[in-house]
Amino acid sequence: MNSPSLAPSQLEQLKKLTTVVADTGDFERMQAFQPQDATTNPSLILKAAQQSNYQALVNSVKSTHPGMSATDLVDYILVAFGLEILKIVPGRVSTEVDARLSFDSKATVAKAKHLIALYESHGVDRQRILIKLAGTWEGIVAAKELEAQGIHCNMTLLFSLIQAAACGAANAKLISPFVGRITDWYKAKLAASWSDANNGGANDPGVTSVKRIFHYYKHFGIPTEIMGASFRNTSQILELAGCDLLTISPELLADLSASTATVSKKLDAANAQSALSAENIVPLKLDESNFRLQLNNDAMATEKLAEGIRNFCIDTEKLEVLLAK
């Protein structure tokens, strides 16, 4: 019988450099990886809610609130999954506000307060909840108001430095810059010109985007936490070792658990100033008109933000149809 390997897995090594977060609504699967936090979104909850092992949870919510509209039931489903996740993770769970409110600050604030109230009605401290908001101007305005009231926000669908800088100025607790979706865009754009050798690894456009945000935050003393998200492979994850947090799917967590290759720290706040100088990055002007102009002039960020909101809206509506049955 072979003795077990004493070498630590890549996941174990990564946890010493970065806070590891599980990116799933499937709370049964996340237990094996012992993440600190967990994130959900409408697409992940829809996927989980369709699985047979979660039907009892879904039916319990529906039977507890007879006659409630499917739209209102969605909030209770999101919180029900969040409550189960909080039994597993020692830290926080991120719960997303309806993406259809992405351009309405007032409605976003009201929805966020409702979600927090639902958690608090179950005895959960609001410090363990991050309310996920889209990185639109309206979402950022809502985050500023919510943070001032002690409701912490996770700014998602974030594809650009201007979004990140504005979130920092709003005192958002955390941002989730997307890696894989940025890479997807450039891969499609370059088509046959794309090369994994030239455009992957440290040169991966999704990776370099998060590095730029990391260096900007650390150099200018912005305390907002950075959580890399939306990974397509373990290479993207390992290139961001040292980031504040990384939220990772169960599939990629399993890949990291299965490897004992060496993980080294790639992001270091000590390198922030030299990195920014090399790219000639200066403090950004963060009023609304400049935000909208900078975002508009970044075709990738504009397209991916719109696509992300659109797809979350579609999956929220699918979840409503599921609950209405």
The tokens describing 278, both together, are 């090399």
Tell me the pLDDT of the chain averaged across its residues.
96
Structure confidence at residue 57 (pLDDT):
95
Structure confidence at residue 186 (pLDDT):
98
pLDDT tens digits for 26-66? Answer: 999 999 999 999 999 999 999 999 999 999 999 999 999 99
CATH for 10-324? 3.20.20.70
Residue 87 designated active-site: no
Q: What residue has token string 């149809």?
A: 321
Q: What residue has token string 């002039």?
A: 297
Parse the chain into domains and list their residue ranges. 10-324
Structure confidence at residue 321 (pLDDT):
96
Catalytic residue among 15, 111, 132, 211: 132
The ranges of the chain with pLDDT < 50 are: 1, 3
What predicted TM-score, i.e. pTM, was given to this entire model?
Answer: 0.96
Structure confidence at residue 4 (pLDDT):
55
Structure confidence at residue 228 (pLDDT):
98
Q: Return the percentage of the chain with pLDDT > 70, whole number.
A: 98
| Sign of the torsion formed by the C-alpha atoms of 309, 310, 315 and 320 | positive
